[in-house]
Amino acid sequence: MKVLCVAEKNSIAKAVSNILSGGQLTTKNTNFPYVKNYEFTYSGFNFTGSNASCEVVMTSVAGHLTGVDFDNQQYGWGKCNPSELFDANLSNTKNKDQQKIAENIRKSARNVDYLMIWTDCDREGEYIGWEIYEEAKKLNNRLNDNTLYRAIFSHLERNHILGAARNPQRLDKRAVDAVGTRIELDLRTGVSFTRLLTDTMARKVQASQQQSMPPPNNSNSNKKENVVVSYGPCQFPTLGFVVDRFERIRNFKKEEFWTIQLVVSEQDQGVQSNNITNFQWDRGHLFDRLAVLTFYELCLELAGNKARVVDIKSKQVNKWRPLPLTTVELQKNCSRYLKMNARDSLAAAEKLYQKGFISYPRTETDTFPPSMDLKSLVEKQGQENSSAWFAYAKNLLDTNNNNHNKFKFPRSGSHDDKAHPPIHPIIGLGRDASITVNERRVYEYVVRHFLASCSEDGKGQMTSISLNWNDEIFNANGLVVLERNWLDVYPWMKWENSKTMPRLEMNQEVIISKAEMKNGYTSPPKPMTESELIMLMDANGIGTDATIAEHIEKIKARKYITSDKVGKDSYLNPTILGVALVHGFETIGLEDSFAKPFQRREMEDDLKKICGGTLTRRDVVTDIINKYKGYYNRTNQNKNRLLQVYDQVKRSLS
């Protein structure tokens, strides 16, 4: 029996081949330098009907094997009305590298009995698997749905890979259809609107950018940079979030507010202590100075400097350990804590996965299966004594010490994509591991997050005291941290003791050391951080966990937003063009479809319905394309309004 196995990347093909072959394999070059063929024998496939050894060739692609595009002769830029692209025929394309990889797939598949797909186990991986299958059967008519199998795996640990080889499944054709739908819709809507917007605005935008640029001083000064005003159904809602925050800041008007604060000193209560506690007004703050002044003067007049204790509560509080790690949470927290952008953090995580250090980093799941042996993973982190968390991991499993912090199975979140477990470490990182600085930082974050999720919650004692000052209630809270637990391995989260609370009793009359009427001002929101943007995109269904970083980078590349560093933090701000595009579509009545997340969220919901079998690809494509034809016609009829808004924004921001 002969079996062809195909992975999504050469590094995965090499790692899997080494495991299945026990290191006894032959490596052969292909016509594409970054793809190798690994040949070996293996007897663990159950679909062969026997335990006989199979001749295996394992190879890979390098991402997608094909692209989708319009015929350039008929539908190239300037050769047709952009509106024709909504109904134009599409064809599969291959660049030179893809052609070389496809040729290797065809040659390798020519005489095999079975094809086994080892691409990443997500929607995109299913689609790439289908591309491989379509190519492989061109020279082998024995390959069909009955001889096609799919390995299900989430990391490169040996026993896990052997289990995946022994228990294959089938390609998910519904997931293939869902990805094909997204590719087709993004192409048709993106290209048609990009051409319309570029034809309408590029000349004006280019002239404006040249005016604002410093005079060139090199030999290429006469070269003009072509401006492309691109549209993407994920790019525009992403831009919309940044512009919305920018406008809230720009239009913010500070308001003065007033509040009352009581200061209580234990010394004034006859206690030998320097402890001073501030009690905050239960009403918070009010924007009516006269109203606050009336309350303040009445209290002074009728109660003087005396208040009464009306409530004392003391309760145990927990600082919850983090949920298991998802892709979005990884990108968000690497941006927030490590100051790494989403693209770099995900790229580092991908490399760590390919090298076998962590599990598959593209997952929406925040729940570990109960059967998963997490203690063994913690144990591995307690064996590598060169790491900063070695002692913590070792103590987590030590049943002989008096440490309160013991291993505890992680909390379960509400998401499970049924494909991959949460991101977690697979093996310890040796002192001499060949990884980059970014990969090391991301690995450390993954490990610390995993260990924290397997720990006890932080435990503390919260005390609350309420005072009645002429029927106005004032509160103070104090926290004593009793057990830090997971916080000891997670340095990015703070949970500290607060100021000691005064020793008071119920109904005790308290001497007020100072009663103040204080004022303050509301403050504008801060500019958008990448961490916040990732969170907004995820909450609103813009992009997938794997593509969020791409959409952010795209609107940076198109000069719709900039990333501006202030101190240690970086903030995202829109450019004149970015603001003009959002307001331009608002002006022509398309803000809900373009600059807001509703249209994209609806499409993502439809893709899930395709996966669930309640909608077909034809249903979704027909519905959304009909909507976009209407959007296109409205935009085309209001092109001058887009130019007018650009001029208005330029004047207001210059």
Cβ(201)–Cβ(642) under 8 Å?
yes
Report the alpha-carbon distance of residue 93 to residue 131 in Å, rounded: 12
**Within 42-153, where are the H helices?**
72-75, 96-109, 123-136
Burial (CB < 10 A; 0-12, 13-18, 19+), residue 307, is buried
Task: Single out the residue of 138, 131, 136 nearest to residue 114, CA to CA.
Answer: 136
* Burial classification of residue 350, based on how many CB atoms lie within 10 Å of its CB (0-12 exposed, 13-18 middle, 19 or more buried): buried
**Three-state SS for 59?**
strand
* The residue type at 22: G
Cβ neighbours of residue 96 under 8 Å, at least 6 residues apart?
none
326, 545 in Cβ contact below 8 A? yes
Q: Helices 530-539 and 235-250 meet at what angle, rounded to 10?
A: 120
Rg (CA), the chain: 31
Which of 340, 422, 442 has the alpha carbon at shortest distance from 377? 422
Distances (CA, A) of 215 to 211, 221, 222, 537: 9, 8, 11, 38
Residue 472: both structure tokens together: 């106005």
Q: Which residues are identified as catalytic?
A: 360
Question: Shortest CA distance to 578 belongs to which of 250, 343, 186, 231?
Answer: 231
Within 527-616, residue ranges assigned H as helices are 530-539, 548-557, 576-587, 598-612
Query: Distance between CA atoms of 129 and 135, rounded to whole angstroms?
Result: 10
CA–CA distance, 36 with 118 (Å, rounded to integer): 15
In the DSSP assignment, the letter for residue 93 is E
Q: Beta 2-7 vs 114-118: how paired, if at all?
A: parallel
Find where tokens 């990182």 sit.
429
Q: How many Å apart are CA 275 and CA 279, to the nearest integer?
A: 13
Cβ atoms of residues 66 and 93 within 8 Å: yes
Instruction: For residue 26, count other CB atoms closer than 10 A to its CB.
Output: 11
Contact of 427 with 393, CB cutoff 8 Å: no
The one-letter amino acid code at 416 reads D
Adjacency order of strands within the sheet including 54-60:
26-29, 36-42, 54-60, 2-7, 114-118, 148-150
